[in-house]
Amino acid sequence: MASAAEQLAANFNFSNFGKAKELRERIFFTLAILLVARLGTYIPLPGIDPIALQRLMQQQQGGLLDIFNVLSGGAVSRMAIFGLSIMPYISASIILQLMQTVFPQLEQLKKEGEAGRKTLNQYTRYATVGLASMQALGMAIALEHQANLVINPGIGFLITAVVTLTGGTILLMWLGEQITSRGVGNGISLIIFAGIVARFPSSIGQLLESARTGTISPLLVVAFIGGAIGLVLWIVFMERAQRRLLVQYPKRQVGTRMFGGESSHLPLKMNVSGVIPPIFASSILLMPVTFAGFMSGQSSSGFLSTLLAYIGPGRPLYLVLYAAMIIFFAFFYTSIVFNPEETADNLKRYGGFIPGIRPGKKTADYIDFVLTRITVVGALYLAVVCIIPEFLRTSYGTAVMPLGGTSILIIVSVTMDTVAQIQSHLIAQQYEGLIKKTKLRGARR
């Protein structure tokens, strides 16, 4: 039997948008903030020669800078004030999650509810400032070492670059938090999503132009579109896939009344780690490639040429290492964000148990066993989704596959999460309408 929420969702229609005034305001606010975030990617960093920068970005195609350029919505290629994008904040959040498994004090803050969450968020902001400052300094020094890229190199440029890039990241972090609290969806994810989607018009235009000039066969374009739709559908299916463990609650008597005896499910997502494994794997694997690309213009070392030949993007060894690192980080990050022992303790505390499994350690072992098996499938899914675009980009060029697997995963995941939140707001609005109608009928009687 469908629940009340499922019945309301089944009766969902677009006419409800006209009645949901608060939802409309949230959507318009979100769009306005995203517009501000996009405008910041066009404000250039002072002291950079745009022609030399364009030449450098062409040399770094497929490197780490290219990955950051996609996630920043083109801000790196223009060396804008939002050149660092929101990545320092994401890195700081991941570092705080890792530290919670090492330091009991941070783990205790996590269990303190809203107050502890605010404290952890404050620590994350401090860590973001530190990481952004270090990354900005490293980027400024790297830019100075490129010939004719910085117009007036020196301490003045370094200070200006560090303050500007760090301030841009902090502003993006604040904008993302405003979207999360006053808009719709996760603000940080939506900022990254907007940057990736902003490349769609130029990518589609490049694809159609290649088909018009005969560089790419029209049949290949049709096959690419069909394959892209199939890939998106597969990602949606896998992201929604769950293994539900039956949880039973015993009956208990309070006075003369009997409570409990209900059953529910413990949902375990097929892909617990989300898009973190591909981001980690690509960043680590492309670091030596990017370094070799920077040094290739200054040195003719045979080692650098060999490095680019074997682990350059699209090479067989690169694809094997990329898939292996995605699988490793999928297991590693899942072990951090999901604790079977804590879940088993919570079930035991509230009287829940998995039928046929003894509460406590046996339940934790069983949950860990099931989670490990579904993580194998989830990790292989992530590896395949990320390898397919890389293979197509190598075989047919970026015109056929302008986006990498990580970008596609981010687009689909953020879209699903945002649509789910919009539906939640509409369902809540429908509930409020039903409650008001019930009160009016009761008053008339």
pLDDT in tens, 247-298: 887 766 566 666 556 778 888 888 888 888 888 887 777 666 666 555 554 4
Does 259 share its domain with 292? yes
176 and 321 together in one domain:
no
The verdict on 164 and 21 lying in the same domain is yes
Environment class of residue 5 by beta-carbon count within 10 Å: exposed (0-12), middle (13-18) or buried (19+)? Answer: middle
Same domain, 105 and 136: yes
Residues 155 and 213 in one domain: no
Q: What is the pLDDT of residue 300?
A: 46
Is 293 domain-assigned?
yes
Q: Is residue 412 part of a domain?
A: no
The answer to whether residue 362 scores a pLDDT higher than 50 is: yes
Residue 425 lies in a domain: no
Cβ atoms of residues 402 and 207 within 8 Å: yes
CATH number of the CATH domain containing 348: 1.10.3370.10
Partners of residue 398 on adjacent β-strands: none
Is 318 found in the same domain as 193? no
User: Could you report the per-residue pLDDT of 144-162, keeping only the tens digit for each?
Assistant: 877 778 888 889 888 998 9
Does residue 208 lie in a domain region?
yes
Weakest mean pLDDT among 77-91, 198-212, 302-316, 410-424? 302-316
**301 and 361 both lie in a single domain:** yes
Domain boundary among 199, 231, 255: 199
- Compute the distance between CA of residue 140 and CA of residue 157 in angstroms, rounded to an integer: 8
What contacts 119, CB < 8 A, 6 or more positions away? 109, 112
Confidence (pLDDT) at 208: 77
Domain's final residue, options 199, 227, 251: 199
Packing angle, helices 276-296 and 64-71, rounded to 10? 130
Asked whether residue 419 is assigned to any structural domain, the reply reads no
Statement to judge: residues 262 and 383 lie in one domain: yes
Rg of the chain's alpha carbons, rounded to an integer? 25
Question: What is the number of domains present in the chain?
Answer: 2
DSSP secondary structure letter of residue 313:
T
Last residue of a domain, one of 137, 167, 199: 199
Q: Are residues 257 and 128 in the same domain?
A: no
- Bridge partners of residue 248, in order along the sequence: 263, 353
User: What value does the mean pLDDT of the chain take?
Assistant: 79
Helix extents (H) in 217-359? 218-240, 276-296, 302-311, 316-337, 340-349
What tokens does 266 get?
């413990």
Please check whether residues 171 and 266 belong to one and the same domain. Answer: no
- Residue 62 scores a pLDDT above 60: no
Q: With bands split at pLDDT 50, 70 and 90, how would you rate the model's confidence at 142? A: confident
Neighbours of 373 (CB within 10 A): 12
Interval 63-82 mean pLDDT: 74
Residue pLDDT, tens place only, 169-191: 999 999 999 998 888 888 888 88
Query: Same domain for 37 and 116?
Result: yes
Q: Which residues pair with 257 in a beta bridge?
A: 254
| DSSP of 374-438 | HHHHHHHHHHHHHHHHHHHHHHH-TTT--S-HHHHHHHHHHHHHHHHHHHHHHHHHHHHHHHHHH
Residues 302 and 371 in one domain: yes
Residue 405: CA atoms inside 13 Å, Cβ hemisphere, count? 29
* Domain that residue 323 falls in: 200-402
Helix (H, G, I), strand (E, B), or coil: what is residue 144? Answer: helix
Report for 281-295, 367-381, 405-419, 429-443: range of highest mean pLDDT? 367-381
- How far apart, in whole angstroms, are the C-alpha atoms of residue 81 and residue 308? 30
Residue 380 lies in a domain: yes
| Token couple for 158 | 């370094």
Is residue 132 assigned to a domain? yes
Query: Within a domain: residue 392?
Result: yes
